[in-house]
Structure 1
Amino acid sequence: MIRVAFDRPEVGDEGEYGGHATDFVETLICRAEVTYKRGSEVVDAARLQGRSVFEIKIRKIGIAPNIASDWRMRTVGIGLPDGNGPEDDLPGARYNVREVDALSDKKWVFLIVESDLL
């Protein structure tokens, strides 16, 4: 079990540039059971990138059933201790939430997450 955080996207005004900027807001911190599902390689802009896919199991507490596929998951206490730069200073390695199953079990929320390669 590791500690993870879930961040929801929040769209804000980009100010003088017009347009919109998406910031992530930490919404939930909990313990998670993590299972490595598979790795894959995809061709992106003519270069090979490896991505890791994990199955995540968390307790159905608080806002957990409301996690959506536009959210992200971060590790808490491991990886990127100072965040990912001035625009994204939340610590931890980032993972994109791909699938959420909050219906099939009364006590658990199951998720599929993929490593976020920046």
Structure 2
Amino acid sequence: MATSPTAGELRHRVAFDRRTDADDGYGNEQASFAEQFQVHAAFRSRGGSEAVVAARLEGRNVLGVYVRSSAQTRQIESDWQMRDVRTGERYAVKIVDAVTDRRWVYLEVSTGVAA
């Protein structure tokens, strides 16, 4: 893992959403996301990639994200999604590392993939 971020790098306000199942009134389960909490985060680019989906080239942006370790942030799982509160951009959480550094939770998130 790279060096830990400084307090000045925690410029982004992000919200973490957990998948919930709700009844649509007709007996069907409908999946949606419900916001759990918001925190400040440091973004670090991990590069991008391209994938061919349905004969089209689709770009994906991969970010390394650091958030301060807390009881809330240690609950994040790889089936959650992260939202940038300012821009509304949604990211699928792929990797969660809350063990390596006790002060930080490291996440690897990406755009262009299903959460």
TM-score (norm 2): 0.84
Per-residue Cα deviation, 1:63-89 (whole angstroms, up to 9, x for no partner) = 1001001000000122xxxxxxxxxxx
Regions of 4+ moved over 3 Å: none
Distance 2:101 2:113 in 1: 31
Sequence identity (%): 41
Residue of structure 1 in register with 2:8 after alignment = none
Distance 1:103 1:22 in 2: 30
Distance 2:34 2:70 in 1: 18
Unaligned runs of 5+ residues in structure 1 are: 79-91
Residues 57-96 of structure 1 mapped to structure 2, 5 A cutoff: 57-78=66-87, 92-96=88-92
Distance 2:97 2:22 in 1: 28
TM-score (norm 1): 0.82
Distance 1:12 1:63 in 2: 23
Distance 1:54 1:46 in 2: 25
Residue of structure 1 in register with 2:56 after alignment = 47
Deviation at 1:19, TM superposition (A): 3.2
Contact map agreement 1:94 1:116 (CA 8 A) in 2? no
Contact map agreement 2:22 2:30 (CA 8 A) in 1? yes
Residue of structure 2 in register with 1:86 after alignment = none
Superposition CA RMSD, Å: 1.4
Count of residue pairs the alignment pairs up: 104
